[in-house]
Amino acid sequence: MITEAKSESSDWRSWFFSTSLGIVVKHTWGKTQKFRTLVFALQFLLFFGIPWLRWGDRQAVLFDIANRKFHLWGLTVWPQEFYLLTLLLITFALTLFLATAVVGRLFCSVGCPHTAMTSLFMEIERRIQGDRMARLKLAKSPWNAEKITKVALTHAVYSLASALLAFTFVSYFTGNHQILSGLATGTLHPAVLVGWAIVAALVYGFAGHFREKICQVACPYGRFQSVMIDPNSLIVAYDVQRGEPRGKYRAGQDSMAKDCVDCSICVQVCPAGIDIRNGLQMECIACARCIDACDDVMTKIKRPTGLIRYGSLNSFGGKETRIIRPRVLIYSAVVMLALGGIAGTLVTRPTVTTEVIRNRSALYREMPDGRIANVYTLRTINKSISPLVVNLEASGIEHLEILTGTNPMTLKPDSVESLTLSVIAPTKACEPGVNRIRILLRDANSGQLRSAVDTTFMAPATVPDESKETKTP
C-alpha cells in the first residue's frame, strides 16, 4: 500500500517532509504488539543503560578501538584474541539460522535494532501527527501553520532521538564520561564528533525515512530466509481454508461462507506494505501487526480469531508440525559446539602472556669475566583486573642469570609492560652458536608459574674446551 500522499502531491516539500518515504501505517494494538513493545522497551533500557555501568575505574562495556581492547565487565579481549569475536559472530549467525528454522523471522520481529528504532520513530510520528488517515490528510493539506508546526515538531523529535541513540552508540566505543567531559571542556576529539554526526544521520534517515526499504533492499536476511524455512517453521500466515473466497460483511449477516471480509486492514497496518493473504513474502518481517488487526475485526463481527496467525505451513494444511527435525538438531549441535569452544577458550586463556624480542644490534656480548650476555625486550600483558608481582627466571643452560633493574616485576592490571633485560650464561655451559632457553614468570607470592616463553641464546661459533688444552710440564 503506497502512501496516497506521495502520489497525489507533486510538492517536493510534501514528498520530503512526509516522515516516511513509502508506507503510512495504521496503528493497531493487541497481544502481539504488547509483547513486542515490552521487548523493545527492554532492549532500549539495556542499550541506554549499559554504558552507564562501571567496572572499577572504567566503563563496564567498552570497545576501545583506539587502544585495541574490548572490555566486557571483568573480561578484556586483546588484539591477539580477536579470533574470539570472529567465533562469536559465527555463533550468532548459526543461532540466527537455528531460530529461523524453528520460529521463522522472529529476530526481524523483536530482535533487530532497525525494527526497534523504526517502531519508535513510527510511534513518535503517530503521537504528533495522528493515525494513518490523519497523516494522509495532513500530507495532502496546504502548508498552513498547523502542518508546519506538526512536521517541524516531528522532525525535531526525530533529530533529538537520533542524537541520543547516536550518543549512546558512540559511547560504547569512546566512553560516555569521556564524551561528556570533552563536550564540557571543548576538548572532544573531532573524530568522535564526526562519528556521532554520521551515526545520528544514519539513524534519522534509516528509521525516520527509509524504514522498510532497508529491510527490502539493504538487508540480505529476507532474501536467503527461504533456504532456512521449511514447512515446519513457525511463520505469520493467512488461513486460506477459512478465508477464501473473500466476501463483504454486512451487519446481521451470520451465515457467511468464509471469514475474510476483504477489509484490507491487514494491508493498512503492515509496515512493509504487503498483503499477507498472498502468502509468505520476502518483505514480511513477522511483526504480527496483521494478526492483531485481523483478530480485532473477527471479534467485532463475532467470528473466531486466528484467521491470520502464527503457524507452520503444515499446520495450515492440516498436517502435524515437527519441532525436532534433522536441520534443527544439526544447527543446535553446531551452536552448542561453538559456545563450548568460546567458553573453553575463556576459561583456559592465560592471565599473563609474554613475548620476547631479541636485540638485533648485537647477537651476543662477551663480558670481562668470560661470560656471554644476550639482550632482550620482554613484553608482558596482564589480562587480569588485579596487579601481579612476578619473579623473572631463565632455564635451558646451567647457571643462567637474569640482570634487570626490576626483579621481581610488578604488572599493572589490564596493561602492557615492556622491560629490557640481559640473560647471562657461562661460556663453557653454552653450545656453539644457537642455544634454546626459556624465560619464566612466577608469582612472587605463591610461586605459581604465570607465563613461559621460549627463545634463543646466542653463543660464539666456537667455544673453548679446557679439557683439550695442553698442560705445560
Task: Parse the chain into domains and list their residue ranges.
Answer: 1-349, 352-463
CA count, 13 A, side-chain hemisphere, 304 = 7
Q: Please, what sign has the CA dihedral across residues 58, 339, 311, 231?
A: positive
pLDDT of 78 strictly over 50: yes
pLDDT given at position 9: 39
The answer to whether 308 and 30 are in contact (CB under 8 A) is no
Give the pLDDT mean for 152-164. Answer: 96
What are residue 391's phi and psi, to 5 degrees? -95, 135
Q: Determine how many CB atoms are found less than 10 A away from the CB of residue 72.
A: 12
pLDDT given at position 253: 60
pLDDT given at position 334: 93
* pLDDT tens-place string over residues 369-401: 889 999 999 999 988 888 899 999 999 988 888
* Cα–Cα distance, 261 to 259 (Å, whole number): 6
pLDDT of 21 strictly over 60: no
Q: Does residue 79 have a cis bond before it (omega within 30 degrees)?
A: no
pLDDT of 148 strictly over 80: yes
Q: What is the DSSP string of 146-184?
A: HHHHHHHHHHHHHHHHHHHHHHHHHHHHH-HHHHHHHHH
* Cα–Cα distance, 357 to 367 (Å, whole number): 21
83: confidence class by pLDDT, cuts 50, 70, 90? confident
Q: Which residues pair with 376 in a beta bridge?
A: 358, 421
pLDDT given at position 256: 59
What are residue 467's phi and psi, to 5 degrees? -70, -20
* Cα–Cα distance, 110 to 43 (Å, whole number): 9
SS3 call for 208: helix
The answer to whether 330 and 338 are in contact (CB under 8 A) is no
Q: Above pLDDT 90, what percent of the chain?
A: 53
Q: What is the DSSP string of 289-334?
A: HHHHHHHHHHHHTT--S-SEEEE-HHHHTTPPP-SS-HHHHHHHHH
The mean predicted confidence, pLDDT, of the chain is 87
294: confidence class by pLDDT, cuts 50, 70, 90? very high
* Cα–Cα distance, 197 to 166 (Å, whole number): 8
Give the pLDDT mean for 36-44. Answer: 96
207-239: b (≥16 Cβ within 10 Å) or e: bbbbbbbbbbeeeebbeebeebbeebbbbbbbb
* Cα–Cα distance, 467 to 454 (Å, whole number): 31
Give the pLDDT mean for 301-316. Answer: 92
Q: Which carries the bigger pLDDT value, residue 117 or residue 414?
A: 117
Place of cell 663453557: 428
SS3 call for 17: helix
SS3 call for 354: strand
Which of 31-35, 219-223, 284-288, 433-437 has the weakest average pLDDT? Answer: 219-223
297-310: b (≥16 Cβ within 10 Å) or e: bbeeeebebebbbb
* pLDDT tens-place string over residues 109-129: 999 999 999 999 999 999 999
Give the pLDDT mean for 422-432. Answer: 90
pLDDT of 45 strictly over 60: yes
Give the pLDDT mean for 288-304. Answer: 93
**CATH homologous superfamily for 352-463?**
Immunoglobulins (2.60.40.10)
* pLDDT tens-place string over residues 332-369: 999 999 999 888 888 888 888 899 998 888 888 888 88
| Rg value, the chain, Cα | 34
